[in-house]
Structure 1
Amino acid sequence: MIAIVDYGVGNLFSLRSSLEALGLAAEVTGEADRLRSADRIILPGVGAFADAKAKLDATGLVPVLREEAARKPLLGICLGMQLLFGRSFEYGEHPGLGLVGGEVAALREELDDPALKVPHMGWNRLEILRDDPLFRYFQNGEHVYYVHSFYARHCAEDTLAVSRYGNVAVTGVVRRGKVYGTQFHPEKSGDAGLRLLKAFGEL
């Protein structure tokens, strides 16, 4: 079973529907015991980093997520991926979960072309830098769907794939141990995204 963490942030039910369409049992839950008994965990998220982290802290699930991340595959999606990092500079400085090396910063500050729009929204090509079981059914160069204004940086050793946006190599997929993150939304990325979720379900 894949547990989708419910902490009041994210479109949880479209993600669950995508997993169920793949034949993967999925449950939206905010209960520690269900996270512990799950085979895999997905941490979704949309919105602002500080608000999401505060809501996650309020659930009391942070210690559970840290413990389970050492035991089973965990996937952070979009803001859920950003929460995996040590800190974010989104409207101040805020601590994250510290499960992946690096930090989260404003994309606009890194772009050298003011004509490029932020948020980085829409389809972009994913360039695989390191092979991984997560890409078992995924081809290098396939397109995935992004919606974000902040991105992960200083995380080269944990980066599996990037997407180019102007002069910036946007961190698309990270991994440290059993912890994975995708800045894009696999559940909104058509067949390519579903194949990535299928591979996650087999880790």
Structure 2
Amino acid sequence: MNDIAPDLLKKLKKYFAEKYNNDPEIKRILNLENLSYADANNFAIRVGEILANTYQELLTPVTLPDGRMYWNIAERIIEPTMKHNFDIISKFTSRVQSYLNKEAGLGLKAIKPQLNEDRIKGILERLAAEELYADIKWILNEPIVNFSQSIVDDSIKANAEFHARAGLKPKVVRVLDGTGCEWCRSLAGEYSYPNVPSDVYRRHEKCRCTVEYKTGDGRIQNVHSRKWI
């Protein structure tokens, strides 16, 4: 059997880079000067959509041996591309947090979240477990967007915990997307550290709720105007 992984990975990287570099929404967000975690969430969604589309376009039963995604292939093409998404998004969230810290007059560095390797491993295991890739290809669609959004949520959590340890009183706000489902409605609201339920950072499939952040010095950034109150 020919080793198709190197060629597939090269094609995935090239396709993703072309779509990412020419995407109007990506360009718009990267050119913003006043930033918020709402921007980070929109950025993560778009980056996740581009990667998911890359998978859907280039990975088909025809391109895979026996129409199956074997573990040794998934590990060498899915894992590195998902990690690349983490690098892109976590770099942007660090930029957002650095901006928020500066605007709030906080001399603190931005904390980069930890990569959730268990989540990547879970996707790889599901892919390899199925006899036919056609039956499991959905896991490389919306769940990839969800994974990308979780990087923003993890960044908020990491920085809020860091600020709390620094003696500040950060707050985390979960904002509904529209009316939201019953579960999301139960989580919507403002929470002060350390009383932040872990579910605040979780999201179901196709969830577009946002998790936002307030600095611990008593000031609040308006998500729309970007002004500090």
- Same fold flag (TM > 0.5): no
Greater RCO, CA 8 A, separation 6+ = 2
TM bin (shorter chain): under 0.3
Higher Rg of the two aligned structures: 2
Q: If the length of structure 2 is used for normalisation, what is the TM-score?
A: 0.25
Q: If the length of structure 1 is used for normalisation, what is the TM-score?
A: 0.27
